[in-house]
Structure 1
Amino acid sequence: MTQPKSAALSNVGKIRSNNQDSGYAGTRLFVVADGMGGHAGGDVASAIAIRRIRETDKQYTSPGDAEFALQSSLIAANQLLAETVFEHQELTGMGTTVSAMLRVGDSMAIAHIGDSRIYLWREGELSQITADHTFVQRLVDSGRITAEEAAVHPRRSVLMRVLGDVDAAPEIDTAILGTQPGDRWLICSDGLSSYLAEDRIKKALAAGLDCEQTSRRLVKETLDHGAPDNVTVVIVDVDESGDSSAEPPVTVGSAAVPLTFEGETGRKSLRLPTILLHPLKVATTPEDSHFEPESDEYLAELIAEDKRRRRRRRITWLVALVVAIGALVAGLVLTYQWTQDHYYVGEQEGTVVIYKGVQQTLGPIGLSSVVEETDLAVSDLPNYTQQTVEDTINARSLADARSIVERLADASTR
């Protein structure tokens, strides 16, 4: 049996009640769309986008033609989303990310908007091909935060570019990249990339499994890590044949469910029959992606907010550090004071003396000192008593220590 050369798989995840992702693996076209807007219609947005974009699954005479066709289809999908919102105001605010590839021979034409991702696994190395159109990625690119900080940033879900009803001419990233036999391409929603580390993704792609098995493994590992969000993957293998098609073409996620329109008081209502915009549990629902158009004012506001957040975080850490140091110093002081309530009898330069404190040291700091010297020579004591004094004799108080010295003096005269 011939192994599949591409595969698509989508899962609702462990928390959401509906799937706002859509995916498609066809003859030459491969695409993932991640809807946003919560139950304002994220599932509807991704479904509409995939249905329009998959019309480009055709043969093209050149990679440039394929790139133009992809870009045009995303613009057309954006217009279709705007028209849908105009007719159905309850869907206002819906939008979707799109990451798409069209294969033409040994080239891949790519179109991308949002924070779904395209990866390339080639000769044991995994490369992220697309750049996230998110606020935190802007901060990373400008050097304001690290990639590790971006992963836990409170604004990590803010998208700066999507298809939707806001921008009539959204900026779409396009490119033409060469591909070669042995390449394995992965398109995924952020439900995968946000919860599965790249080394885990690389390990799955390199495991030698076919496309379907690899897609199932990636989704399973994401579910094993909690997978609060929808997760969708499309995997494409490249060999010498120049054919990476899924036969028959596969549509997954919300785009796999027929959209129906019903009249209602003179206005059409758009719904997905089996995923009816169910309310989610607020306490356990992952944060929906939030879209804000790219504007100097909004970026300046977010950057200023981020500076305030980082300043608050520094102050918090500084206060915690001061409190920790204070607690440490207080502990040391109390410990030292406790040692100074103790006494013992020992020897110094051959004579019996009384020490205040304990025999231990704290680094270079001694925790005892001589408080009383005597004229009693250790050599005058009986042999068994000399060793006892050299090993020190603990006392309950200064008076008790003086009594011990008196008994030692009596023993020396016998």
Structure 2
Amino acid sequence: MVFEGSSVAISHTGKVRSNNQDSGYAGSNLFVVADGMGGHAGGDVASSIAVHRLKNLDHPYASTAEAEQALQEAISSTAGVLIDTVARRPELAGMGTTVSALIMVDDYAVIAHIGDSRIYLYRDDALTQITTDHTFVQRLVDSGRITPEEARYHPRRSVLMRVLGDMDPDPEVDTFIMPTQPGDRWLLCSDGLSGVVDDAHTSKVLGHHYPPGRTADLLLKQALDGGAPDNVTVVIVDVGGSHPMFSGTATIVGSASNPQGVDVPAARPGRTSWLHTARQAANEPTHFEPAAEFLEELIEEDRRRARRRRIWWVVGLITILAALSAAALGAYAWTQTRYFVGADADTVVIYRGIQQDIGPISLSSVYEDTGIVLNDLPFYQRLAVTSTISARSLSDAEQIVDTLRTTLEGER
């Protein structure tokens, strides 16, 4: 089903940065913001690669589950592309990007998120942050060490704990599905907006209910009036409502709109740490390292989480194999409660099991050689035994053998 609504994507370098490392996309069903990091060119390349990989998902989906899986697989495969790119261009080592993406499927929004770009929902005159920042300070907020207000001005708010980069081939991406409705207004933005313009002012601008283009321009103006020390990217999506149905070609903004693609000037050599602390946040003129005692704890926590994920994968695989093995053993045990009468070379034999085999595995074995010579039986009984005679139980099989003996004695 085609998404009904209107949308816009804009991106600005800001007042401090010399280049734009953000990328944005607004299409028919897909909307993306990616905020790159990693030196002079690395951020450009990373966010551009992410958007150009994800834009292939801009088409209708049969279900939300299909869209969610497509987002997860596309973002995971992008990590592999970033790793391959650094292998060819070592000077780009340490590059990475945030990704906040949304696919509209009927009356639902399918969301994927990693990093500190954000997705907001404006509904019934209330603004709600939908995604959770994967940052050092957000961990401090979650643990109760600082308040959300303190987090806005924390000197280490630029430190990302999770990011789509060149060092993790299996990134941990948040994905979830939310119902949406006519009148909803979705906002995707880089921290060049959210780090300068607080939620109250953002909500006020969205509440004017201007068309997406004018609304995005007003939000950008507020970021520029606030100094705009970082790149600013805004994507707005209106669901139904008073604005016309979105039509036309997709809009690509920021570094992804560069016609040169990823063929950009070489980045400065050097690798940032796995926490990607080389990235400056919106209001941060210089780079700050996190306090050692907190950072060591958080590093170990992330390592424990990665180990837990691997352990759960192994446990899950073992559980599945154990269940399959139990099912196979149960099925085999059941076959050993069955009996039939057949021939073994030149005598009549009672077999335990069933007459089928699984490849080289036989599901039957000799239970009792009756000693009845096959050739002594009348032709019709010899033919029946050779073809095997099924029995409901062991006693039933023994009764069949008794009948054969009786017939044989009568013949004599």
| Structure-2-length-normalised TM-score | 0.64
SS at match of 2:230: coil
Quickly say closer, same or farther: Cα 1:246–1:34, change in 2 above 3 A: farther
2 CA distance for matches of 1:246 and 1:298? Answer: 49
2 CA distance for matches of 1:147 and 1:28? Answer: 33
SS at match of 2:216: helix
2 CA distance for matches of 1:289 and 1:126? Answer: 31
Cross-structure match for 1:131: 132
Superposed, 1:395-414 pairs within 5 Å as none
Cross-structure match for 1:401: none
Quickly say closer, same or farther: Cα 1:98–1:288, change in 2 above 3 A: farther
Whether the aligned pair in 2 keeps the contact of 1:27 and 1:244 (CA below 8 Å) is no
Cross-structure match for 1:214: 215
Quickly say closer, same or farther: Cα 1:244–1:60, change in 2 above 3 A: farther
2 CA distance for matches of 1:237 and 1:22? Answer: 20
**2:121 paired with 1:120:** yes
**2:269 paired with 1:299:** no
Cross-structure match for 1:31: 32
1 CA distance for matches of 2:19 and 2:227? Answer: 16
**2:152 paired with 1:156:** no
Cross-structure match for 1:379: none
**Larger Rg: 1 or 2?**
1
Whether the aligned pair in 1 keeps the contact of 2:156 and 2:288 (CA below 8 Å) is no
Cross-structure match for 1:85: 86
Q: Write the letter of the residue equivalent to 2:91.
A: E
SS at match of 2:98: strand
Whether the aligned pair in 1 keeps the contact of 2:92 and 2:268 (CA below 8 Å) is no
1:300 Cα shift? 5.9
1 CA distance for matches of 2:200 and 2:268? Answer: 35
Of residues 241-250 and 129-138 in structure 1, the stretch that sits farther from structure 2 once superposed is: 241-250
2 CA distance for matches of 1:244 and 1:170? Answer: 35
SS at match of 1:195: coil
SS at match of 1:5: strand
Q: Write the letter of the residue equivalent to 1:36.
A: M
Using the aligned pairs only, state the percent identity.
Answer: 56
Q: Write the letter of the residue equivalent to 1:272.
A: V
1:297 Cα shift? 4.2
Q: CA RMSD in A?
A: 3.0
How many residue pairs get aligned? The number is 284
Match of 1:271 among 245, 251, 263: 263
1:166 Cα shift? 1.0
1:194 Cα shift? 0.3
Please give the per-residue CA displacement for 1:332-372, whole angstroms capped at 9, x wherever unaligned.
xxxxxxxxxxxxxxxxxxxxxxxxxxxxxxxxxxxxxxxxx
Quickly say closer, same or farther: Cα 1:153–1:272, change in 2 above 3 A: same
Of residues 158-167 and 251-260 in structure 1, the stretch that sits farther from structure 2 once superposed is: 251-260
**2:8 paired with 1:7:** yes
Whether the aligned pair in 2 keeps the contact of 1:258 and 1:272 (CA below 8 Å) is no
Whether the aligned pair in 2 keeps the contact of 1:36 and 1:290 (CA below 8 Å) is no
SS at match of 1:158: coil
Quickly say closer, same or farther: Cα 1:241–1:121, change in 2 above 3 A: closer
1 CA distance for matches of 2:184 and 2:169? Answer: 36
SS at match of 1:43: helix
Q: Write the letter of the residue equivalent to 1:113.
A: I
SS at match of 1:58: coil
Whether the aligned pair in 1 keeps the contact of 2:98 and 2:163 (CA below 8 Å) is yes
1:258 Cα shift? 2.3
SS at match of 2:14: coil
Quickly say closer, same or farther: Cα 1:196–1:241, change in 2 above 3 A: closer
2 CA distance for matches of 1:241 and 1:4? Answer: 9
Q: Write the letter of the residue equivalent to 1:211.
A: P
Q: Write the letter of the residue equivalent to 1:185.
A: W
SS at match of 1:22: strand
2 CA distance for matches of 1:240 and 1:218? Answer: 21
2 CA distance for matches of 1:51 and 1:288? Answer: 29
2 CA distance for matches of 1:48 and 1:67? Answer: 20
| Structure-1-length-normalised TM-score | 0.64
Please give the per-residue CA displacement for 1:110-158, whole angstroms capped at 9, x wherever unaligned.
0000000000000000000000000100000010111121112121100
1:234 Cα shift? 0.2
1:289 Cα shift? 9.6
Cross-structure match for 2:54: 53
SS at match of 2:33: strand
2 CA distance for matches of 1:244 and 1:290? Answer: 47
Extract unaligned runs of 5+ from structure 1.
261-269, 303-414
Quickly say closer, same or farther: Cα 1:29–1:243, change in 2 above 3 A: farther
Q: Write the letter of the residue equivalent to 1:91.
A: L
Cross-structure match for 2:205: 204
Please give the per-residue CA displacement for 1:165-219, whole angstroms capped at 9, x wherever unaligned.
1111010000000000000000000000000011110011111210011011100
1:286 Cα shift? 3.2
1 CA distance for matches of 2:245 and 2:5? Answer: 8
Superposed, 1:379-390 pairs within 5 Å as none
1 CA distance for matches of 2:238 and 2:50? Answer: 24
2 CA distance for matches of 1:69 and 1:288? Answer: 36
**2:278 paired with 1:286:** no
SS at match of 1:271: coil
SS at match of 1:41: helix
Q: Write the letter of the residue equivalent to 1:44.
A: V
Q: Write the letter of the residue equivalent to 2:134.
A: H
Cross-structure match for 2:17: 16
1 CA distance for matches of 2:217 and 2:247? Answer: 16
1:85 Cα shift? 0.5
1:277 Cα shift? 6.0
2 CA distance for matches of 1:149 and 1:127? Answer: 19
SS at match of 1:73: helix
Quickly say closer, same or farther: Cα 1:289–1:87, change in 2 above 3 A: farther
Whether the aligned pair in 2 keeps the contact of 1:134 and 1:156 (CA below 8 Å) is yes
1:38 Cα shift? 2.6
1 CA distance for matches of 2:243 and 2:177? Answer: 16
**2:111 paired with 1:110:** yes
